[in-house]
């Protein structure tokens, strides 16, 4: 059974419930940046809780995942607008349409090559965009895979989940893709992050498990106590652990490199935690769809 140690959790209101705070990341300016998927906005919150908001046009693009880029700006996907967005720390926004119609970009991460890599959930492709806006797309060898989250691995490849193909993929800078099927049927992986142990850690929203895959493809899976908890996003901390959201159980979990799990209940009921990030203050921050951002300080 997972442990339930005490942790200090603070919640900050950042929007109304309809805005849908979703993805979150640490910015180069010492603040946290997050998306509001339903209202088409990008928010910024300082570690002290001060909030500012920037509108994306049009507002219907569905900004989803956001990450810090190599150019000192923040980059985000527009799942419904089929664009990649860029916002400076001053709030200036640029959008880059994708060449493939209805691509459905979702996950995004900075690669070791100085570009941003993203998934195209609606097109079974992995995309690459330079800071100047040049886009290249690479097909994955599966149909209907719904590539979702993506993270830079220790081997310079980009690792991504395939939610509907029940697999983890890795793509090289040349576009070559390797596929690793998961042992658990219908695991439906979503979030993925590079751990301090040289492996990639991911969540299985359909199976209630945390997965670990090494660069050579060895997979381990760790079951949560509540298999219906719907783990959604995951991030590594500075101490070798990984933290994840349990969207269906209103909790934040932590898993150690050896697979030990602890969980923390969020203060507001049914707050629907989605994205998760390690803040510049060493705390864990998560976006709550009820219109808030939570900060967890571990004991």
Reported as half-sphere exposure (CB side, CA atoms, 13 A), residue 266 has a value of: 30
Going by C-alpha positions, the residue among 165, 162, 235, 230 that lies closest to residue 200 is: 235
Catalytic positions are 274
CA distances from 95 to 111, 115, 147, 192, 204 (A): 19, 16, 21, 25, 31
Farthest-apart Cα atoms in the chain, separation: 49
264 marked as binding residue: no
Which residue is associated with the tokens 């049914």? Answer: 270
Q: Are 116 and 151 in contact (CB under 8 A)?
A: no
Contacts of 90 (CB under 8 A, 6+ apart): none
246 marked as binding residue: no
289 marked as binding residue: yes
The four Cα atoms 37, 11, 242, 125 give a dihedral, to 10 degrees, of 0
Annotated binding site for substrate: 232
Annotated binding site: 232, 272, 289
Annotated binding site for Mg(2+): 272, 289
């Amino acid at each position: 059974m997972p442990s339930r140690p005490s942790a200090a959790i603070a919640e900050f209101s950042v929007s109304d419930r309809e805005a849908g705070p979703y993805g979150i990341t640490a910015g180069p300016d010492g603040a946290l940046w997050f998306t509001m998927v339903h209202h088409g906005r990008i928010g910024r919150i300082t570690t002290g809780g001060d909030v500012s908001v920037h509108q994306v046009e049009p507002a219907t693009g569905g900004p989803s995942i956001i990450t810090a880029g190599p150019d000192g700006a923040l980059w985000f996907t527009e799942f419904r607008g089929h664009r990649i967005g860029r916002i400076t720390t001053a709030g200036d926004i640029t959008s880059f349409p994708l060449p493939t119609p209805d691509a459905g970009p979702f996950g995004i991460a900075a690669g070791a090559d100085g570009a941003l890599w993203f998934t195209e959930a609606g097109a079974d492709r992995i995309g690459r965009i330079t800071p100047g806006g040049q886009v290249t797309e690479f097909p994955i060898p599966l149909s209907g895979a719904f590539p979702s989250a993506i993270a830079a691995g220790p081997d310079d490849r980009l690792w991504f989940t395939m939610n509907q193909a029940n697999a983890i993929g890795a793509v090289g800078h040349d576009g070559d893709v390797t596929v690793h099927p998961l042992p658990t049927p219908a695991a439906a992986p979503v979030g993925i992050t590079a751990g301090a142990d040289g492996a990639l850690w991911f969540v299985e929203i359909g199976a209630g498990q945390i997965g670990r895959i090494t660069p050579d493809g060895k997979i381990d899976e760790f079951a949560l106590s509540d298999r219906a908890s719907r783990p959604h996003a995951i991030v590594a901390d500075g101490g070798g652990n990984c933290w994840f959201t349990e969207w269906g159980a209103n909790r934040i979990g932590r898993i150690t490199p050896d697979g030990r799990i602890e969980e923390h209940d969020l203060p507001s009921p049914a707050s629907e935690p989605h994205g998760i990030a390690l803040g510049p203050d060493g705390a864990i921050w998560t976006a709550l769809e009820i219109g808030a951002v939570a900060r967890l300080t571990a004991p």
